[in-house]
A and B are shown apart, each in its own frame.
Chain A
Amino acid sequence: MKSAERYVGRSVPRKEDERLLSGAGMFVADIVLPRMLHVAFVRSPVAHGRIKSIDTAQARRAPGVVEVLTGEDIRPFLKPVPGMQNRPPKRWREAVEHDINIPDQPILATGKVRYAGEALAVIAAETRYLAEDAAELIDVDIEPLQPVAGIDEALATTSSRVHDELKSNVVAKLTVRKGDAEAALASAPRKIRHVFYNHRYLAMPIECRGVVAQYEKHVDSMTVWSSTQVVHWVRREIAARLGLPEARVRCIAPDVGGGFGVKGHVYPEDVLISFLARRLGRPVKWTEDRYEHLLNSTHARDDRHDVEVGFDADGRITAIRDRFVKDSGAYTPVGVGAPSNTIAHMLGPYHVPNYEATATIVVTNKTPNAPYRGSGRPEGVFVTERLMDLVARELGLDPVEVRLRNMVPPEKMPYSVGIPYRDGVPVVYDGGDYPGALRKAVDALGGLAQIRERQREAWKQGRYLGLGVGCYVEGTGAGPFEGATVRIDPSGTVFVATGACAQGQGHQTVFAQVAADEWGVTPDNVSVSISDTGTIALGYGTIASRSAVNSSSAIRMASATLRRKVLALAGHILECSAEDLELRDGRVAVKGVPKLSLSLAEIAQAARPGWDGGRPSDMSAGLEVTEYFEPPTVTWAYASHAALVEIDVATGAPRILKYVVVHDAGVLINPRLADGQIIGGVCQGIGGGLLEEVVYDENAQLLTGSLMDYLIPSASEMPPVELVHLETPSPLNELGVKGLGEGGAIAPPVVIANAVCDALRPVGFEVFSTPVHRSKIIRALNGRSGSAS
């Protein structure tokens, strides 16, 4: 295939921008339907308790109220949302030692409440104002139970159980082994052991969630607009809970105002709002408010690692053994996803001959925990990358040098790690230059020698300047599949539909670029449909840095199949062989004879079934092909982040002077959009490292219930970020792309922690938990404590 220009690899302008810049975007909250009702919830004031009674009589009589339902009311009709929405494959279950008893999540609480903010009752009314008025009239009697407020309480045998039907608060245990970590630790020349804690923080898109549902009785069909990353999952659960065929449920995610994982699974509200729409025969809308979002949308991170590392006198790591516990909150809708990632990514870009990791997942009386940008990777990377610095400290070596000594060198690629991935396939790093990336990152900050010189000068002046690095690998483009339908529209427009769902990534643009190259047209001649189960029957959705890899590959596959038909049909009409034809500028032309050509519109007309068609008798009608790309396994992106940080000795604030990301995500479809993804991720990582923290009190009551208390970074908190791209094409897909949506957010917390500790070496300060609090730094500077735990 030939075309005048290729669009993959170019920073073409976004198709999405015009509408979003002029206020013409369409978000779920913007949808208005005739006779639409509005929903508010009554949420549990206590973290753990037995529901004695819920009196809805007064609320039912309140102005504008149409329906009030409690958990008991809906229990006969609506089964809970499954606790494992993406079940690991058989191959994984065979490769990983596991014991999983993950509970389902009720649509509305029945019997017990398991976290403060869990929904107890729903009100549908003529306006949201009236629904909230009625919510205040509902009298809830809950007998408080001892809350399980954290990991220690969850593990204590004397604690109450979050789920009475389970034997304990441990809902899953996973173990992965490579070599013999115990033996290697026993014989290691040196070893250190520490406990690390990754605090709870969260995605916080600026658009909260929302659902609008409309039931059409005459065709027994449900249309649902949800602010979700996974329209096909939402369709599946609604169909299953409501007893509808999937073909009669259409789920659309219109413009979505950020996701980052928190919208990456099905929520009880998706099902309940649909149920109400059918029950009441009117469209129903729920717009999550920010307080609900903080209380009730999933949180993330929150695990504690007890880890021991063995190494030799040269700083070469011989073994890592990690036993960690993840606080999943009351439910864990994405099952063991995040801790599986932690296990699979903990070894990072390093060659570690012996490894053992055990994840224990516990339930507590906190908000459910689910993947958020990085999903388990930032947690594992925090541990490993802090360990690298601590090993260096033990041996008096530079942390950069210790990393270089342990990294898998480019000549060892592809490198088989010796552990299974989340898909059960053995992890094989598929290419790249890990030491080169680290060197480039340090060079972008001035080079190691110069940085150390600056640091010594600073120390002499009573200033504290530090270098922090953080290196990681990231399995991206995970399966199981993504599909694409490619159709040549009668207008000649190339129509592409895929199961990916965008929340700002620019999918309409990048998939148009991919299709444009396949068809020899400009992206303007490609119309891309995403986030709509109505345009493609099977799909998976946008989570886990997977859409650029999976959707692009599916678009290429479907295009290739369809192209053969288009060329065959054109050859039939032009009376030549398909091999003599080429696609160029939206036309199929005889090679070397541009005048002998047909437009795609003409070929589409010829392919129509019925009278006056132009296709040969043995050719099926229509120009439409659907293909599903099923990746063999993940492709491995990697990066080195580095930052120079100076401590403000007056306030203890770590000031990031410059932040560098050297990143390899294979071939970049649209470099400018790739930069945007990475910088955006870094910003969230900096937030998680310094500002953002979900705080509960000892009764598991949320203390950070507003944006005045849960602080996400503003423009003033962002340092200058420099990006360096390496492009090692992935061998696992034809385009050579790897995923990059999450990467930026993985390393910043540990980069900041390492830089702060490096700066404060003269006072001896080590970080074992995030976020890095200024108060701890000040305490160290004032000589009152040498480490922050």
Chain B
Amino acid sequence: MKPAAFEYLSPTHLNDALDLLARHGASAKILAGGQSLVPTLNFRLGRYDFLIDINGVGELAYIRLEEGALRIGAMTRQRAIERSPLVRRHAPLLAEATKSVAHLPIRTRGTIGGSLSHADPAAEYPAVLLALEGELILRNRQALRRVPATEFFVGPLETVLRPDELLVEIAIPAARPQQGFAFEEVSRRRGDFAIIGMAAAVAMDARKIGEARFAACGIASGPVRLRAAEALLIGQVPSPALLVEAGRVASRSVTPQSDLHADAEYRRHLIDVLLQQVAAAAVADAGRERL
């Protein structure tokens, strides 16, 4: 299990990285945290002429609050996100979900941009971004485009990123006081990818649910918004019966996959129960003071 040879390029500035991408495009791969990429190289399942290592691009690692949005540089480590007071305060869902991303030594290296660009259908971050209606900022040498999370993921391990484009920043609207969040996942073993993971972001309007967004990972080819359940809950006063109905509606609104770790029927069941859990937890979380 040794990787095949490649040419290693290590830009230290974003512009250099974009130049290299423009030059090598389809035959190059960006090396961010490498926690998913390097295993595939070791198995020789992936093979590239060039690896562009952007770990030296210091300008891509930051977490800051600007104009009501949390802006996170693509090369920010998961470990840094986990312990950032800014993230805990303004994107508590991201902080919570990060604890479920593999294990601490993986989070030491793993980056938010790498995880989102890799777009593993079972990964936590894509679902979190959907639930938070985050935005992904992509750059190539000529231009910058802002892509809503809902449009970024197009299939398993597939995004709208073009060969010459790099994900440079993730923007997440800062949490408002009336909002509540929750994340839950079920995996067969601690730290593994989720069989089903579920992110919830709700906003209460007095006693009623004003906004509700649920997004799941592990269902199928990419993260999925559970809009039928959202529609059912919006404008309603939450009650146990309502949540049960929401779970049922959510589980029937999707077509889960079967794989080694779980069959479709079991996934459907988990969507049902996890939706109920995160919906209840998010409603309870709304209005709670954030540290």
Q: Are A and B in direct contact (Cβ within 8 Å)?
A: yes
Chain A residues with CB below 8 A from B143, complex form: none
Binary CB contact string for chain A from 692 to 714 against chain B (1 if under 8 A, 0 otherwise): 00010000000110101101011
A129 vs B3: C-alpha distance in the bound complex, in angstroms? Answer: 7
A778 vs B196: C-alpha distance in the bound complex, in angstroms? Answer: 15
**A714 touching B189 by the CB < 8 A rule?**
yes
Known: A129-B2, A775-B266. 11 other contacts (CB 8 A): A290-B1, A650-B273, A651-B186, A695-B260, A703-B260, A706-B43, A711-B189, A713-B189, A714-B189, A775-B269, A782-B269
In this assembly, does A79 line the interface, its C-beta being within 8 Å of a C-beta of chain B? no
Interface residues of B in 225-275 (CB under 8 A from A): 260-263, 265-266, 269-270, 273-274
A779 vs B192: C-alpha distance in the bound complex, in angstroms? Answer: 24
A716 vs B5: C-alpha distance in the bound complex, in angstroms? Answer: 38
Q: Which listed residue (A128, A650, A704, A711) contacts B2, Cβ 8 A? A: A128
In this assembly, does B277 line the interface, its C-beta being within 8 Å of a C-beta of chain A? yes
Give the Cβ gap from A207 to chain B, nearest Cβ, in Å: 15
In this assembly, does A55 line the interface, its C-beta being within 8 Å of a C-beta of chain B? no
**A691 touching B270 by the CB < 8 A rule?**
no
A–B complex contacts, Cβ < 8 Å, 6 sampled = A129-B5, A133-B4, A136-B4, A650-B273, A709-B261, A782-B269
Chain B residues with CB below 8 A from A136, complex form: 4, 44
Q: Which listed residue (A132, A695, A716) contacts B189, Cβ 8 A? A: A716
In this assembly, does A652 line the interface, its C-beta being within 8 Å of a C-beta of chain B? yes
A653 vs B188: C-alpha distance in the bound complex, in angstroms? Answer: 9
Interface residues of A in 627-655 (CB under 8 A from B): 650-653
Give the Cβ gap from A705 to chain B, nearest Cβ, in Å: 9
Name which residue of chain B comes closest to A710, CB basis: B260
Query: How many residues of B are in contact with the other chain, CB < 8 A?
Result: 24
In this assembly, does B190 line the interface, its C-beta being within 8 Å of a C-beta of chain A? yes
In this assembly, does A5 line the interface, its C-beta being within 8 Å of a C-beta of chain B? no
Sort chain A's interface into a size bin: 20 to 34
A704 vs B5: C-alpha distance in the bound complex, in angstroms? Answer: 27
Chain A residues with CB below 8 A from B263, complex form: 775
**A650 touching B43 by the CB < 8 A rule?**
no
Binary CB contact string for chain A from 575 to 603 against chain B (1 if under 8 A, 0 otherwise): 00000000000000000000000000000
A168 vs B193: C-alpha distance in the bound complex, in angstroms? Answer: 43
Binary CB contact string for chain B from 27 to 62 against chain A (1 if under 8 A, 0 otherwise): 000000000000000011000000000000000000
Binary CB contact string for chain A from 260 to 283 against chain B (1 if under 8 A, 0 otherwise): 000000000000000000000000
Chain A residues with CB below 8 A from B188, complex form: 691, 711
Interface residues of B in 1-22 (CB under 8 A from A): 1-2, 4-5
**A291 touching B260 by the CB < 8 A rule?**
no
**B43 touching A708 by the CB < 8 A rule?**
no
Top 7 closest A-B pairs, CB basis? Answer: A716-B190, A775-B266, A289-B1, A650-B273, A129-B2, A711-B189, A132-B2
In this assembly, does B191 line the interface, its C-beta being within 8 Å of a C-beta of chain A? yes
Give the Cβ gap from A568 to chain B, nearest Cβ, in Å: 60
Chain B residues with CB below 8 A from A291, complex form: 1, 43
In this assembly, does A452 line the interface, its C-beta being within 8 Å of a C-beta of chain B? no
Q: Which listed residue (B190, B266, B277) contacts A714, Cβ 8 A? A: B190
Chain A residues with CB below 8 A from B192, complex form: 708, 711
A706 vs B263: C-alpha distance in the bound complex, in angstroms? Answer: 20
* Contact flag A133-B262 (CB < 8 Å), given A651-B270, A711-B188, A711-B189: no
**B1 touching A717 by the CB < 8 A rule?**
no
Chain B residues with CB below 8 A from A782, complex form: 269
Q: Which listed residue (B2, B43, B266, B277) contacts A778, Cβ 8 A? A: B266
Give the Cβ gap from A127 to chain B, nearest Cβ, in Å: 8
- Among B188, B274, B277, residue most surrounded by chain A Cβ atoms (within 10 Å): B188
Chain A residues with CB below 8 A from B5, complex form: 129, 133
In this assembly, does A14 line the interface, its C-beta being within 8 Å of a C-beta of chain B? no
A713 vs B188: C-alpha distance in the bound complex, in angstroms? Answer: 10
Chain B residues with CB below 8 A from A132, complex form: 1-2, 44
Chain A residues with CB below 8 A from B2, complex form: 128-129, 132
Name which residue of chain B comes closest to A38, CB basis: B2
In this assembly, does A761 line the interface, its C-beta being within 8 Å of a C-beta of chain B? no
In this assembly, does A774 line the interface, its C-beta being within 8 Å of a C-beta of chain B? yes
* Contact flag A779-B43 (CB < 8 Å), given A650-B277, A691-B188: no
Chain B residues with CB below 8 A from A713, complex form: 189
Interface residues of A in 349-376 (CB under 8 A from B): none
A774 vs B189: C-alpha distance in the bound complex, in angstroms? Answer: 13
Chain A residues with CB below 8 A from B261, complex form: 709
Give the Cβ gap from B226 to chain A, nearest Cβ, in Å: 17
A289 vs B43: C-alpha distance in the bound complex, in angstroms? Answer: 10
* Contact flag A652-B266 (CB < 8 Å), given A136-B44, A289-B1, A695-B260: yes
**B1 touching A775 by the CB < 8 A rule?**
no
A290 vs B193: C-alpha distance in the bound complex, in angstroms? Answer: 20
Give the Cβ gap from A118 to chain B, nearest Cβ, in Å: 18
**A779 touching B265 by the CB < 8 A rule?**
yes
Give the Cβ gap from A130 to chain B, nearest Cβ, in Å: 9
Binary CB contact string for chain A from 651 to 689 against chain B (1 if under 8 A, 0 otherwise): 111000000000000000000000000000000000000
**B191 touching A714 by the CB < 8 A rule?**
yes
* Contact flag A778-B269 (CB < 8 Å), given A133-B4, A136-B44: yes
Name which residue of chain A comes closest to B3, CB basis: A129
Give the Cβ gap from A40 to chain B, nearest Cβ, in Å: 8
**A774 touching B266 by the CB < 8 A rule?**
yes
A191 vs B263: C-alpha distance in the bound complex, in angstroms? Answer: 35
A129 vs B2: C-alpha distance in the bound complex, in angstroms? Answer: 6
Give the Cβ gap from B4 to chain A, nearest Cβ, in Å: 7
Give the Cβ gap from A116 to chain B, nearest Cβ, in Å: 15
A704 vs B265: C-alpha distance in the bound complex, in angstroms? Answer: 21
**A691 touching B4 by the CB < 8 A rule?**
no
* Contact flag A651-B273 (CB < 8 Å), given A128-B2, A136-B44, A703-B260: yes
**B189 touching A775 by the CB < 8 A rule?**
no
A778 vs B266: C-alpha distance in the bound complex, in angstroms? Answer: 7
Name which residue of chain B comes closest to A777, CB basis: B266
**B190 touching A709 by the CB < 8 A rule?**
no
A129 vs B266: C-alpha distance in the bound complex, in angstroms? Answer: 42
A713 vs B263: C-alpha distance in the bound complex, in angstroms? Answer: 21
Give the Cβ gap from A219 to chain B, nearest Cβ, in Å: 35
A778 vs B274: C-alpha distance in the bound complex, in angstroms? Answer: 14
A717 vs B188: C-alpha distance in the bound complex, in angstroms? Answer: 9
Chain B residues with CB below 8 A from A704, complex form: 260
A706 vs B2: C-alpha distance in the bound complex, in angstroms? Answer: 15
Chain A residues with CB below 8 A from B260, complex form: 695, 703-704, 709
- Among B44, B266, B270, residue most surrounded by chain A Cβ atoms (within 10 Å): B266
Chain B residues with CB below 8 A from A695, complex form: 260
Give the Cβ gap from A397 to chain B, nearest Cβ, in Å: 34
Name which residue of chain A comes closest to B267, CB basis: A775
A716 vs B269: C-alpha distance in the bound complex, in angstroms? Answer: 24
Give the Cβ gap from B103 to chain A, nearest Cβ, in Å: 9
Binary CB contact string for chain A from 29 to 59 against chain B (1 if under 8 A, 0 otherwise): 0000000000000000000000000000000
Chain A residues with CB below 8 A from B191, complex form: 714, 716
Interface residues of B in 96-114 (CB under 8 A from A): none
Give the Cβ gap from B267 to chain A, nearest Cβ, in Å: 9
A505 vs B264: C-alpha distance in the bound complex, in angstroms? Answer: 43
**B43 touching A775 by the CB < 8 A rule?**
no
Interface residues of A in 737-784 (CB under 8 A from B): 774-775, 778-779, 782
A156 vs B270: C-alpha distance in the bound complex, in angstroms? Answer: 39
A779 vs B44: C-alpha distance in the bound complex, in angstroms? Answer: 39
Give the Cβ gap from B88 to chain A, nearest Cβ, in Å: 23
* Contact flag A717-B266 (CB < 8 Å), given A291-B43, A651-B273: no
- Among A291, A651, A691, A779, residue most surrounded by chain B Cβ atoms (within 10 Å): A651
Give the Cβ gap from A694 to chain B, nearest Cβ, in Å: 11
Name which residue of chain B comes closest to A690, CB basis: B188
A128 vs B43: C-alpha distance in the bound complex, in angstroms? Answer: 14
Binary CB contact string for chain B from 272 to 289 against chain A (1 if under 8 A, 0 otherwise): 011001000000000000
Name which residue of chain B comes closest to A127, CB basis: B2
A723 vs B263: C-alpha distance in the bound complex, in angstroms? Answer: 37
Give the Cβ gap from A394 to chain B, nearest Cβ, in Å: 30
A703 vs B258: C-alpha distance in the bound complex, in angstroms? Answer: 14
A709 vs B261: C-alpha distance in the bound complex, in angstroms? Answer: 8
